[in-house]
Amino acid sequence: MITCRPEDLAVVGEAGDDRLAAQVSVAIALGPSLVHELTLSDGTEMRVSEMRGPNTRAGTSGEQLFVRIDTSRCHVFPAPGRLTSLSLNPTSNLRCIT
Tell me which residue range forms the domain holding 26.
2-62
Q: Say which range, 1-5, 17-21, 45-49, 66-70, has the weakest mean pLDDT.
A: 1-5
According to the model, what pLDDT value does residue 97 have? 41
Q: How far apart are the first and last CA of the chain?
A: 14
According to the model, what pLDDT value does residue 85 have? 46
Instruction: Give the CATH number for residue 39.
Output: 2.40.50
Looking at this protein, which amino acid is placed at residue 65?
L
The 3 state secondary structure assigned to 45-98 is EEEEEEECCCCCCCCCCCCEEEEEECHHHCEECCCCCCCCCCCCCCCCCCCCCC
According to the model, what pLDDT value does residue 63 have? 94
According to the model, what pLDDT value does residue 90 have? 52
Asked if residue 93 is part of any domain, the answer here is no
According to the model, what pLDDT value does residue 98 have? 34
pTM reported for the whole predicted model: 0.68
Asked if residue 14 is part of any domain, the answer here is yes
Asked if residue 71 is part of any domain, the answer here is no
| β-strand partners of 27 | 36
